[in-house]
Each structure stands twice: as C-alpha cells, then as structure tokens.
C-alpha cells in the first residue's frame, strides 16, 4: 500500500498540484489523503477541490495558542490515517506538537540551496545578493527554520536581476525534485 500523505500549503498550491499530478501519472507512489492550509482563502483550496482531494482549512487566529491549532490539525490527520506530512509552500513554522506526532515524517521543500537563504523570500534574497547559482532543497523538518537534515538538492542558475525568471526556473526544478525525493524516502 502506498503511504498516506497530507500536503500542507498556504498559497497558490503549484507544488500541491505537481504532487497530485505525479501521483495520478504513477510517478509518485503515495496516496494524497488531504490538503491542509492555514489560509482558508488560498487558491490551493480551489486546486484541492478540483482534484477531489479533501481540503482541511484552519484559521490559526481562531485558536488560543499555536499548540491548540496544531493539536486540532494532528487530530484531523490521525482520523484520516495520514502517515507523512509534505510541506509545499506552507508558510508557518511547525512546533513540537506536529514534530512529536510525526517524528522524522515531515518533509519540506525550500527554494534555495540550504543552508543559504533560509526563511521567507529566499529567491529575492539570492537575486539581491548577486549569486550566480541558487537552487532547491528538500529536507526533513526540525524545530528550526529550514535547518533539518537535507534529503536532496538541485542547483538552478539565477537570472541576474530577475526574481520572476529565477522563480520560474526554481518552480520547474521543485516539481521534479520533490517527486524524486519523496519516492526515495517513502519506500
């Protein structure tokens, strides 16, 4: 049986879509059980609905604490038998609640060659710093910001002074690399 995954996203959901498409094509051996978002109005909700994937939308502001928010997420995931969490543009640091519920089973993709340019706006940081090469990193999630053990990396040439062109090149690499890395670790 294919491992049951939940994809976490906060925005447009291009990585969610790429993972869904890879599963449908037989290129990724996983069962996409649910999509989780902390942004109920995000476009990824529409993508999930169109794909027929259950969308769990949580508004963290409605919870008294981050721990209470994450505990509600964990309970929903456990009810659905989710085994792995796949962060795909999820713009929130996870806490001990999720880390303890899914030890060594939370994976993230980041648009840089970590440890360079962790956190938000990594592509903008790379272009602003004038680097010639940036890239994509798939890594396990730990308590830090983009500090977990690296699973896979791939370099991407920076289009000098052009964040948009660099971002497009990164997104193309992300979609392929995430599928490859997940197939490697989900076995």
Q: Is 129 a catalytic residue?
A: no
CA distances 181 to 27, 29, 37, 150, Å, are: 12, 11, 22, 10
| Residue of 110, 129, 171, 175 marked catalytic | 110
Q: Which domains does the chain have, with CATH numbers?
A: 1-103 (3.40.50.170), 109-144+153-187 (3.40.50.170)
Residue found by looking up tokens 């109920």 in the block: 40
Structure tokens at 165: 């062109």
pLDDT tier at 1 (50, 70, 90 boundaries)? Answer: confident
pTM: 0.95
What is the sign, positive or negative, of the torsion defined by CA atoms of 112, 118, 121, 124? negative
- What lies within 8 Å, CB to CB, of 43 at 6+ separation is 11, 12, 13
Q: How far is the C-alpha of 57 from the C-alpha of 34, rounded, in Å?
A: 10
Task: Tell me how crowded residue 12 is: count the other CB atoms within 10 A of its CB.
Answer: 14
**Residues 19-70: tens digit of each pLDDT:** 999 999 999 999 999 999 999 999 999 999 999 999 999 999 999 999 999 9
């Amino acid at each position: 049986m294919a491992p049951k995954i939940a994809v976490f996203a906060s925005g447009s959901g291009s990585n969610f879509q790429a993972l869904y498409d890879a599963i449908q094509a037989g290129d990724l051996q996983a069962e996409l059980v649910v999509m989780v978002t902390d942004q109920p109005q995000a476009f990824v909700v529409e993508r999930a609905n169109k794909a027929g994937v259950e969308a769990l939308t949580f508004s963290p502001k409605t919870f008294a604490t981050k721990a209470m928010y994450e505990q509600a997420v964990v309970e929903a995931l456990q009810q659905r038998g989710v085994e792995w969490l796949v962060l795909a543009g999820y713009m929130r640091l996870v806490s001990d609640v999720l880390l303890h519920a899914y030890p060594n089973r939370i994976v993230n993709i980041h648009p840089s060659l970590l440890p360079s340019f962790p956190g938000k706006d990594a592509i903008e940081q790379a272009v602003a710093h004038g680097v010639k090469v940036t890239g994509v990193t798939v890594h396990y999630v730990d308590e830090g910001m983009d500090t977990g053990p690296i699973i896979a990396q791939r370099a991407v040439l920076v289009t000098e002074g052009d964040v948009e062109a660099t971002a497009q090149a990164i997104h193309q690499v992300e979609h392929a690399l995430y599928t490859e890395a997940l197939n490697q670790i989900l076995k």
